[in-house]
Amino acid sequence: MIIYKMVSETGLSQESGVMATENITFSRGTDLQEFYRNCNLFVTGGTGFIGKVLIEKLLRSCPAINKIYVIIRPKRSKSPEERKEELIKCSVFDVLKAINPDFHQKLVMVPGDISLPKLGLSSSDYEMLTQQVNIILHLAATVKFDEKINIAVPMNIGGTKEIIDMGRACVDLKSLVYLSTAYSNCNRKDIEECFYDPPLEDDGVINFLATVNEAVMETIKPKIIDTWPNTYTFTKAIAESIIRKTAGDLPIAIVRPSQVSTSLKEPVCGWIDNVYGPNGAAAGIFAGLVRTGISHAEVKLNMVPVDMVANCIIAAAFGATTR
């Protein structure tokens, strides 16, 4: 089991050794590219900011991948194919389209919900995935800092449990990567690439948090999350602990990025699709809407470009099988 921490006081991170292969045809690639050859991947959070960049990078730099299955929440108004069309229209895929216009044939959208038992997948889809999938990349989570605990627990903790169960059920699992956060243990002054004691471990308490009355939860919430600043970091810390306790027999890696910013250079420099966190603050400043603010000159902001995070996830999956 490997834990990767991605933080940078300069605003940049080191590349993870995954290089672009634009307009290159090859019979045998690097060891990392060969690791992905003919593999089927299962990706959660594939329609999110990091997920889009990750999928684009995988299909562009590891073209010998067989299929990428992307779990999506069902929508009455849109079929999985319509959701797929919506995804591939995103500008992040423009470079890939120029290289390989048929890249979308490798994408398969699978309806599901990570907060539900067996990820909310149909029995036939679950069986198919456990028979076909070789690599699992678990990115999905609710990232709202102030999310209600009875929502955050089933998604961030319950979803991780279900992913571990699925990984164990896969007949030919090569690797599993869990995307955590550098702030899962932010109540500590120094954070190393190791596990720390979580805020809660008892499954009974965790199950209670997922079902407790909202009014009661708001009353006891400060005591429950204790020194963790919000439900996001609180649930991420517990999810890491669950991996430590229950997934030691799996080829698994944890990636902990800090605040994720615009792309450094891939697929293009400066790509982003949201105004969350520091990106929203920057947008307000550049638009002239935010002119003043209170800050501490001695505090350094840790940010990592989204393409570097995608690179690290791709490399971590490979690393989990070689260390």
Nearest to 52 by CA among 13, 82, 91: 91
**C-alpha dist (Å) from residue 113 to 134, 169, 264, 296:** 20, 18, 32, 41
Residues 6+ positions from 24 with CB-CB distance below 8 Å: none
Do the strands 67-72 and 107-111 form a parallel or antiparallel pair, or are they unpaired?
parallel
Map tokens 């329609």 to a residue: 47
**Of 145 and 206, which is predicted with more confidence?**
145
Q: Which tokens in the block code for residue 273? A: 């699709």
Q: Hey, what's the torsion of the CAs at 66, 5, 183, 45, to 10 degrees?
A: -10
**Of 217 and 319, which is predicted with more confidence?**
319
Tens of pLDDT, residue by residue over 104-137, are 999 999 999 999 999 999 999 999 999 999 999 9
The whole-chain average pLDDT of the chain stands at 88
Residues 6+ positions from 82 with CB-CB distance below 8 Å: none
* DSSP reduced 3-state for 87: helix
- Side chain identity, residue 18: V
- Decide: 131 and 171 in contact? Cβ < 8 Å: yes
| Residue 8, pLDDT above cutoff 70 | no
Partners of 193 in the β-ladder: none
Nearest to 304 by CA among 1, 11, 4, 9: 11
Give this prediction's pTM. 0.89
CA atoms within 13 Å, Cβ hemisphere of 292: 0
| Residue 170, pLDDT above cutoff 90 | yes
Nearest to 61 by CA among 95, 108, 12: 95
Region 25-43: what's the mean pLDDT? 88
**What's the rounded Cα separation, in Å, for the pair 310 and 266?**
10
Helix (H) or strand (E) holding 138, with range, is strand 135-138
Max CA distance (Å), the chain: 61
- CATH level 3 topology of 2-272+302-322: Rossmann fold (3.40.50)
| Residue 44, pLDDT above cutoff 90 | yes
Tens of pLDDT, residue by residue over 259-294, are 999 999 999 999 998 887 777 888 888 889 888 888
24-28, 44-48, 165-169: range with lowest mean pLDDT:
24-28
Map tokens 């471990």 to a residue: 201
**Of 87 and 201, which is predicted with more confidence?**
87
Confidence (pLDDT) at 5: 65
| Residue 10, pLDDT above cutoff 70 | no
Confidence (pLDDT) at 200: 80
Instruction: Go through the chain and tell me how many residues it has.
Output: 323
Handedness of CA 199, 200, 205, 210 (dihedral sign): positive
Confidence (pLDDT) at 13: 39
Confidence (pLDDT) at 77: 82
Per-domain residue ranges of the chain: 2-272+302-322
Tens of pLDDT, residue by residue over 234-251, are 999 999 999 999 998 999
Cβ count near 117 (within 10 Å): 12
DSSP assignment of 51-83 = HHHHHHHHHHH-TT--EEEEEE--BTTB-HHHH
Question: What is the percentage of the chain residues whose pLDDT exceeds 90?
Answer: 59
